[in-house]
Amino acid sequence: MELRTGVSKQDIREQIWDYMESRNLADFPRPVHHRIPNFKGASRAAEHLPRLQAFKMARTVKVNPDAPQTNARFLVLDSKKTLLVPTPRLRTGLFNKITPPPGATKDVLRKCATSQGVRNYSTPVGLDSRVLVDLVVVGSVAVSEKGWRIGKGEGYADLEYAMMVSMGAVSPETPVVTIVHDCQVIDIPEALLEDHDLTVDYILTPTRVVATGCERPKPTGILWSKISGEVMGKIPVLQSLRHREKQAGKDVTLRDEPRRLLGASSQQPARLTAVRGPRDPPLPEPCPAQGEDGPTGTVCVGNLPRDARVSELKRALRELGVVPQRLTWQGPRGRALLHYQAPASAQQAVSHLQGLRLGAATVTVSLARRRRASDLPGGRVQEPQPDCRPAVADL
C-alpha cells in the first residue's frame, strides 16, 4: 500500500489499521485499531519461524503476548525450546517462563500458547535469573524491508528490549523477528525513527521471509530521559532496574513529570475528574464503599465505546478465561455487569481484565461492593452498584 505524503508514525498506524479493516484482512480481536493487529494468515506466517537458522540455533525465545504470535509461541514450545512471554504492560515483572505440564500433547501445547495458557502455565523470571535470550519475536503495526519498525504507539516492545539489554539478557547480535501481514510491509521514512526504536532482522508474512540486513543499531539500554515518573510508577521492575543502574553510577534522570493542574496545592496532589462531552453517555452511579457485608461477585466493565457489541466483550472474556455465570449488558450507559458465583472469581476477573481494549477505548474495571446495613433505611443491604467511573482522567 502507498502512504500519504508528510506522514507521522500515527498516520502510518491509522492507515494500516483502516486498510486491514476495510479489506477484511483483520482477525479477532477487532477492530484492530490501537492494537498489534491480528490478521488472517498469521498462523501461516509463523510457520516460517522454525525454518530460520536463528530459530534452529536458539534455546530460549522471547515472544510477545499478542494474538498474531499465538502460533509462534506454540512452535517454540513444540520445538522444546524455552518460551518467555512479557507480562501485559509489564505490571508484574518483565516476563514469564511458560512451562507446559509433563508429557503435554500438541493440543495442550496449543493451549499453553494462548493468552489463558500463558497465565496458567507461567512462572515469573526475576532480574537475577541470568537468563539469556537467543531470539526475540515482536509484533508490529508496520515494518519496512530495511528493518524499521512501528508499534502501536505505547512503546512497550521498545522498552522490553531495552530492559533486556540492561539485564544482560540480549546482545547487539540477538536476532529480532516480526510476524505481520504482507500489507504491513511498507516504506517508512527514516526521519521518523528515534534512538529508542527497536529494529528487526527478519520479517515473516504469509507469503515470504524478508532478511532485512538492518545496519541501524538497536537500543543499547534504557533511555531514562524518555521515561516519565508516571510510567515508572506503573512498572515496578523498571524501578528496580533504575535503582541498579543508579548504584552503578549511570545517569538515570527521568524526563519532566506530568504538568501540575492549575490551582493544585503544592502540598497535595491534584484531584482529577473525568470531563464528559455533550454526546458522552451519562456516567454510572458511584459504587458505595466497602462495608461489613464485604465484596460481591459482580464486576463492572465500564468506558465501553458507543459502537461496542456484547459479542465482542463475550469473545474477549472467553479469550481471557474469565467467563461469568451471567452478563448484564448496559451498552447505552457504556458499561456491562459480569456476575460470578464467588467474590474470588470476580477478583480474578478484575485482575485479568486490566488493560483490555474494545475498539479505541481501554475499559475500566471495578469490583462491586455492598453498603453497610446501617447506611440504608430499615437496615437493608443494597444490591451491588458498580462504579465504572475512572478515578483519574488522562490528560
According to the model, what pLDDT value does residue 100 have?
93
Q: What nine digits make up the cell of 338?
A: 459480569
Burial per residue of 15-24, b for 16 or more beta-carbon CB atoms within 10 angstroms, e otherwise = bbbebbeeee
Domain boundaries, the chain: 9-211, 295-379
- Rounded CA gap, 145 and 190, in Å? 12
Q: Which fold has domain 9-211?
A: Rossmann fold (3.40.50)
pLDDT in tens, the chain (395 residues): 666 655 789 999 999 999 999 999 999 988 999 999 999 999 999 999 999 999 999 999 999 989 999 999 999 999 999 999 987 666 666 788 999 999 999 999 999 999 888 888 888 887 777 889 999 999 999 999 999 999 988 777 888 898 899 888 999 899 999 999 999 999 998 889 888 899 999 999 999 999 999 988 898 888 888 888 877 877 877 888 888 888 888 888 887 534 333 333 333 433 333 333 334 444 444 333 333 344 568 999 988 988 888 888 888 887 677 889 899 988 888 889 999 888 878 877 887 787 777 877 788 888 876 544 444 444 444 444 444 543 333 22
- DSSP β-bridge partners for residue 339: 298, 326
The C-alpha torsion from 242 through 244 and 248 to 251, rounded to 10°, is 0
Distances (CA, A) of 299 to 208, 222, 341: 45, 37, 11
Number of helices (H), then strands (E), belonging to the chain: the values are 11, 16
Q: How many residues does the chain have?
A: 395
Burial class (CB in 10 A: 0-12, 13-18, 19+), 295: middle
The angle, 0 to 180 degrees and rounded to 10, between the axes of the packed helices 156-167 and 236-247 is 40
Element (H, E) at 267: none
Phi and psi of 46, rounded to 5°? -65, -25
| Cis bond upstream, residue 29 (ω within 30) | yes
Q: What nine digits make up the cell of 121?
A: 502455565
According to the model, what pLDDT value does residue 380 have?
44
CATH topology match: 9-211 vs 295-379? no
**Contacts with 34 (C-beta within 8 Å, 6 or more apart), sequence order:** 17, 152, 153, 357, 359, 360
Q: Which fold has domain 295-379?
A: Alpha-Beta Plaits (3.30.70)
- Identity of the amino acid at 125: V
- Identity of the amino acid at 291: G
- Rounded CA gap, 252 and 331, in Å? 45
- C-beta pairs of 149-152 under 8 Å, 24+ apart in sequence: 149/178, 149/197, 149/198, 149/199, 149/200, 150/9, 150/12, 150/13, 150/188, 150/192, 151/36, 152/13, 152/34, 152/35, 152/36
Under a CB-based contact definition with an 8 Å cutoff, are residues 164 and 172 in contact? no
- Rounded CA gap, 134 and 54, in Å? 8
The model's pTM is 0.63
- Identity of the amino acid at 94: L
The C-alpha torsion from 115 through 111 and 74 to 100, rounded to 10°, is 100
Nearest Cα to Cα of residue 189 among 18, 36, 14, 6: 6
